[in-house]
Amino acid sequence: MSQQPQVPSQPGPAEPRGDGLPPALPVTPPGASEATRLLCAGSYLDEAYRDAVIDELYVHEERIVAPSLGFDAARVLAHALRARRLELGWAAGILFLWVLGAVLSSYLLLVIVSPALLLFLGTKVRGPEDRPSLWRRVPALLLRWYGRLGVLFVVLTLIVVIFGQAEGESIASIVALTLPGPLSDLVQLIAPSATSVEPFHGWAASATLALVALCVAAQRGQFARVLAGELHRENFADMAADPAEGADGARLGRLRDRIRTEQHAPLVMYHSARPFCGAGEPYDSWTLAVELRPDPDKEQRPLGNRVILEAVRPLLAELRAPAPHAGGRVRDRLRQLQIDECVFLPADGLPKREYAPYGEAAFRTHRDESVDEGGETRRHFLRIRVGGWEEEVVTTVFVRVHTQGGMLMLEIAPHVLLPIRKDFENADRLAHQHRHNNLFGKAVWALARTPRSFAHSLVTLGRGVAFGWRALTGGHGAALPDGPALSVRELGSDGESSLFQDMDVHRYLKSIQDRVANGVRTALREAGYRTDEFAQKVVNVSGGSTLIENAGGAVALGDNNVITNRATQPGSSGTEPGTGSSFTKPGGGPDAG
């Protein structure tokens, strides 16, 4: 009997309260976010994506899950496994109908093998892209049209057989008309030439194709019902009622608990080659080094990394506060800005995955020790996250400061998770279109995919057997823990974003970077150090420029650079804003975000 799992609420990263700072507005739990819903829908749409999710989170159970920013990887895995179970069931049923139909028709049904294979190969050659390259599109077009002509020949052949116009002909000779030499010889062995064709054989083959078409249509209809049911926007928030969450299985239950312990923890166990796996694409990372020069007019105070971070935090939290005249009408995503501290630890050296120090006391120890150590493998970051567009565009900025030897090092590493793939976003539209289509449209859609269903079902079952064999024999459960190889969120991301989304990302990053710089400058000033050199370097480095101190002329590095040189007015002292030499990278500048 299935037991209903206890699904945690999974709030966002916790942040200390009681400091008088503007609190973050409540956010949607990661397990109920729009990004999670679309990734779950994608597991029903794209078998390659589904297999990648299962391989990363289920087969390789020694791999620690990548940080899941704004979504729940455990729920995506549950739906990926459910989608695979459903697809395997339909594939087994369809394959059984093909085999049964071949036997009942005395293998006359094999006449469709060659056209079906051409259609299947044409689909694979074209690929999933909407606009594939020419070298894919042309061969795919030829294969598919040859396959369609072959299907037309099969239909005409079955009509001739049903009406008794082919009596006296052997089934092997008819089937051999559409098959290449090796397959034709195989048919001669399976269907002896002595077997003559009869109308019953044509009826049996036609009935088999009709039943297969019904199964193909029913499978599509089930997908549409899933999108209209548990994956509908109004129902998705109820995780306890999700059939995928109620699935049995000791391995799934164990992995689901481990994923939900790891994915939102402030302790990040990483692979040495992919430290920021799960955060998205790096976006104009920069490092600044400035010498700590005491201000002779002020008293110097101890300046540590913690002091600087505590000066930065309240300035960042103020970004949540709306304008006084706007009140509660402001819906900007900066009001949901999340600030926390995270520690990166390498996964190498752990004896078991469950031994990772995710406890609160262990994390505090790592946080307090790493904030001032400036180590190579264990690194402390202040993490600022903005989940825009219903967590489809996630902007994360990692900030690290280090003071040693009279130098201040400031590292800012922004990362952006791009929007969910367009075909995943169109899942609701596809399901609605199928459910509201007329019977004739549904029949045409199913019949067009019936010939290739045999090869597709065979490949699906073979892939399922391969995954099961790897899970049973790979020894991944007893393997040494490893960091994440990929993020299912990054795998489900599109390579493009809209202009509005780009504008929001620039605004978030510019606001956060400016507040971080102001906080560091405030900490320097309050500790009795000069800030003029720091302010000058921030303007150059944060704008994507290259600062070369004491350069006598303009220097440009790289391609497509723009150098402007404006002469200083006679009699003026110093260089005013907008004068002198400047270095600008393509797409960036002193004011670029």
Nearest to 72 by CA among 118, 29, 116: 29
Joined together, the tokens standing for residue 513 give: 């970077």
pLDDT-above-90 percentage for the chain: 42
- Return the top range by mean pLDDT from 15-19, 175-179, 259-263, 553-557: 259-263
Scan for tokens 């989304």, then name that residue: 501
Joined together, the tokens standing for residue 157 give: 């052949």
Taking a C-beta distance cutoff of 8 angstroms, is the pair 61, 255 a contact? Answer: yes
DSSP codes, 493-526? B-S---HHHHHHHHHHHHHHHHHHHHHHHHHHHH
Joined together, the tokens standing for residue 86 give: 């459903």
Give pLDDT, residue 552.
Answer: 42
Taking a C-beta distance cutoff of 8 angstroms, is the pair 308, 520 a contact? Answer: yes
Question: What whole-number distance in Å separates Cα of residue 532 and Cα of residue 517?
Answer: 12
Question: Mean pLDDT across the chain, nearest whole number?
Answer: 81
How do residues 37-84 score in pLDDT, each as one tens digit?
A: 999 999 999 999 999 999 999 999 999 999 999 999 999 999 999 999
How do residues 431-464 score in pLDDT, each as one tens digit?
A: 999 899 999 999 989 988 888 898 889 999 999 9
Taking a C-beta distance cutoff of 8 angstroms, is the pair 537, 409 a contact? Answer: no
Give pLDDT, residue 6.
Answer: 44
Joined together, the tokens standing for residue 316 give: 């960042």
DSSP codes, 369-396? HHTTT--SSSEEEEEEEEEETTTTEEEE
**E runs forming strands in 315-462:** 338-346, 379-388, 393-404, 407-417
Q: Rounded to whole angstroms, what are the CA distances from 373 to 178, 312, 382, 566?
A: 73, 19, 15, 45
**Percentage helix, strand, coil, to 5, in the chain?**
50, 10, 35
Question: What whole-number distance in Å separates Cα of residue 114 and Cα of residue 127?
Answer: 20
How do residues 478-519 score in pLDDT, each as one tens digit?
A: 889 999 999 999 999 987 888 999 999 999 999 999 999 999
Taking a C-beta distance cutoff of 8 angstroms, is the pair 406, 510 a contact? Answer: no
Q: Is the pLDDT of residue 168 over 70?
A: no
Residue 559 CA to its chain's centroid (Å): 32
pTM: 0.81
